[in-house]
Each structure stands twice: as structure tokens, then as C-alpha cells.
Copies of this chain bind each other. A is one copy, B any other.
Amino acid sequence: MTRRSPQEALERLLTRQRELAHIGQARSLMAWDLQTMIPPEGVPARARAVATLAAYGHRMLTDPETDADVAVLEEAARDGRLSGPPARMAVVLRREIDRLRKIPEDRYRRFAELTANGEAVWRRARAEDRFADFAPLLEEIVGLLREFVERWGYRGHPYNALLDVYEPGLTVARLDFLFARLEEGLTSLLARIERSGKEIPDAFRGGPFPRAAQEAFLREVLEAIGFSFARGRLDTSAHPFTMGIHPTDVRLTTRYAEDDLAYALYSAVHEGGHAIYEQNLPEELEPYVLMSAASLGVHESQSRFAENVLARSAPFWEYFAPRLVAHFPSLAGRTPEEFFRAANRVARSFIRTEADEVTYNLHVLLRYRLEKDLIAGTLAVRELPEAWRAEMRKLLGIEPPTDREGVLQDVHWSHGMVGYFPSYTLGNVYAAELLEALLRDVPDLWERVRVGDFAPILSWLRERVHTQGNLYDPPELLERATGKAPGPEALLRYLEAKMAEVYGL
């Protein structure tokens, strides 16, 4: 065989990857539609079509030609003849190829079809509070994932193989260390808050708050913090999510409660953080498959930053409280301080997505423990509801009265996402690190927010995170952005400071 030149190999890969990126956009649209628009009986045919597109991607990436071309780039990178995006592209493709070629196409197709059907099954089971209707699907998903993990191989705990999918390099060892420190710090903080005896009224409750007015307010908030409606949409779905089809087409969803303004708002701002990241990904890196987030943990750092650091801050409410009141005259007289404090009420509760910042990571820890045991095979799917209740008692001292408020509350497992939940805690950790760095670079940050000037935040995050796409693995990206390796202490400092303000600790 003639020796391939790196230039030829790169050209061929760019052509193939552009095609794969476009097929990926079709798959993203199909997935968005499955969660928002599809008529109920359309789901099975759609799942088959999604599986076909997935199988096609599998075939393209496991093609020996692709492999040989990537090997040429890898060699050139080792010799120092290749650097920058093409060299990084080889790293990212190599990981993906090695993962895919260990999974036979038909198993991969089956997983794609199963998980495309999954949300509809979960939605019905949750609506009827029947875990038994969801269990067979979840059993097959967990079975396939355990098979994949064995095929991939792993060092240490088998769950490491799944963590690596969402956060390259992340391990159970690192997470155990992180969660141990967080559990200790957060449990102690929670105890101090509860000992303070302070009751904070929920200024967002009451209503009825008509949906159209809520949406108008959300659009105002999302635009202010940097979301472009010329390049995106806001819709509703059972579980809020963001789909970045392309930086010019990014769609987020929320859901509304007519008696609770916080419900739609904080979902939408969380998704808004994801969406702003997606809208600012570097288009020029698309052919290199690097027009994507650095990891899901980094992705969650953007959503948790928007939702918590920004939209649960006092300056945010100084600016937005009068605007909220303008949309809902029945709130007249409520002060920014009241909204700020209501947004930061701490209470043991069942639903992760509505949890306060202090207990939130305990919810994540619960899922992390269950997922590890599911993948290790020491916990069966049918045992999940009881295991959930037991862990909830241990971590938060409460027990959900129904599975809807327990094991059935999250959509992720129905999408086949096991190993994802730790991303939320990583997101919180990274967001706190980013805030400290941001405040060093923009010391008058909060004065700017107070008057509705969100530009300095957006431009700092764009420069340090968004436009970096997938050029670096998360630890390197974070170090470049903040000057140091990320750890749990910044998050604990941030929460201590905020709770001191809210609860006067």
C-alpha cells in the first residue's frame, strides 16, 4: 500500500466528517422533535429511523479507511509534523473509533432504537406512577451498557468506562474523593441552615401566572443574558432540555406551572446557559469535529452558572425584579431582596431539578451510587425503587411518597444516559471556579449585572470556554480559563458566602 500523506488523510477525513456532522444534525433534529413535536404514534417509526442514522455513523467511523487516515494523523502529530485542530481531531476521533469498533453494528443500532423509544415509555410510566412499566426498558438498557462496558474494557471500576464517555478521564476514584468532600461540607452547611431556624417565604408562589406572560418574561431574561432568538427557539417539553443542532439553530425547552414562577424560570435559565454555549461554539472547527462542548461537565458548568451563580444572585434580582412585576401586576410591592432570598431557600426535597444549591449535589450523589451498583451488577433494576428510597433517607433524611417523586423523576436513563449525572456536580464545581476567575478579571462584575449589563460575563465565558469548543479536555480547559486545577473548595466557598447572606449564618 502506498504511504498516505498527512495532507491527503486530513482532506479525506474532513470530507467524511463534514458528512457525519450533517447526519448528526439530522439526528439532533429528530431527537428534539421526539421530545417536543412528534405525534404519539409516530415514535416507533422514528426510533427505527434514528437507529438507521446511528448505524450509518457507526459504519462510517469504523471504516478501515477512516482508521488508517486517523493513524496517519496520529503519527504526524507524534513526529511534531501536525498540531492544532487537525492533531486534536485525531485524538477525539481515535477515542470514538476505538469505542465504536468494539460494539457490533447491530447492538449499537439496537441501543439507538431502544433509547429513541425510551422517553415516550418513561413519560407514560411516570404519568401513571408505574415503575413496572419502565423497568423492562431500563433492564435492556442497563444490560446493553454492561455489555458495552465489558467490550470496551476498563481499569478499576466498570463504571469508569461510562464516566469516560461524558467526561474524558473521569474515574470513580476521583468522584469518590470529590463527593466525600462535598457531602461533608454540604451536610454541615445544611445543618447550620436548619439550626438558624429562619423561614423564607416563597415570593414566586401564588398566581395564577398565565403562561403567555411567563413566556414573555423568560424571553426577556434569556435575551438579556445572551441567547439569540434569531438562532434559537424556546418550546415546552416534559423534561426541559437543550438541543444544539448547529450554532445557528439551538433550541431549549421549559415547562410551566401557573402557580409557581420559579418552576419555568429556573429551568429556562438553566437551559439558557447550555444554549448560549451551543450558540457560541466555533463554527470554523465543525469539519474537525471540534465544534462541540469540551465535555458534559463543562456543559453543565454553563447551565449551572446561568441558573445559580447568575440568576440566583442578588444583583440579578435588583435588575429583574421590577421587570418581573411589570409582567405580573399581582406581585406589585415585592422587593428584589424578597426574590433573591426566595430563589435561595434551602429545603430537603424530592425533585433534583427543583432542589436548592446546597442539597442539589446530594441528589446527584444518590444517582451516582445507584448507577455504580447497577453497572457493577450488585443492584438489579427491579430493586431500584427501594434502593432509591433507602439512599434518599441516608442522604437527605426523607422518603418520596411515590416513584414519580423518586426513581421515575429523571428522563436520562430512558435516553440510555448512565454515567451522566456526575456532570451536574462537576458543572457546579466548574461554575464556582469560573466565577472566582471571572471576578479576578472583571472586579465590577456585580455592579454591571445590577444595571442589566451581562456583556462582560458573556464575553469572558465566550472567550475562555465557548469558543474553545472541544480543543481541550476539561481539566486543561479549566486550567487555561482559571489558572488552576478545579476542586470542590471554590464551590463550598461560594455556597458558604451565599448562605451567610441568605440565612445570616
Contact = CB atoms under 8 A, between A and B. Distances in A.
Contact of A22 (B19, B49, B233, B246): B49
Given A26-B30, A246-B42, A52 B18 contact: yes
B19 A56 contact: yes
Contact of A53 (B26, B46, B52): B26
Contacts of A19: 52, 56
A29 interface: yes
Interface stretch (A3-11, A32-40, A80-88, A478-486): A32-40
Contacts of A27: 26
A495 interface: no
Contacts of A246: 42, 45-46, 49
Nearest to A20: B52
A248 B45 contact: yes
Contacts of A53: 22-23, 26
Given A30-B29, A52-B22, A56-B19, A41 B233 contact: no
Contacts of A41: 228, 230-231, 248-249
Contact of A42 (B26, B38, B48, B249): B249
A61 to B, nearest CB: 15
Nearest to A43: B248
A228 B41 CA distance: 10
A49 B39 CA distance: 24
Interface string A236-270: 00000000011111000000000000000000000
A185 interface: no
Contacts of A39: 229-233, 248-249
Given A26-B53, A49-B26, A53-B22, A44 B233 contact: no
A232 B53 CA distance: 23
Nearest to A28: B49
Interface in A392-448: none
Nearest to A51: B22
A349 interface: no
Given A230-B40, A233-B39, A249 B46 contact: yes
A25 interface: yes
Nearest to A55: B19
Nearest to A48: B22
9 contacts: A22-B48, A22-B52, A26-B26, A37-B233, A38-B249, A39-B229, A41-B228, A41-B249, A49-B246
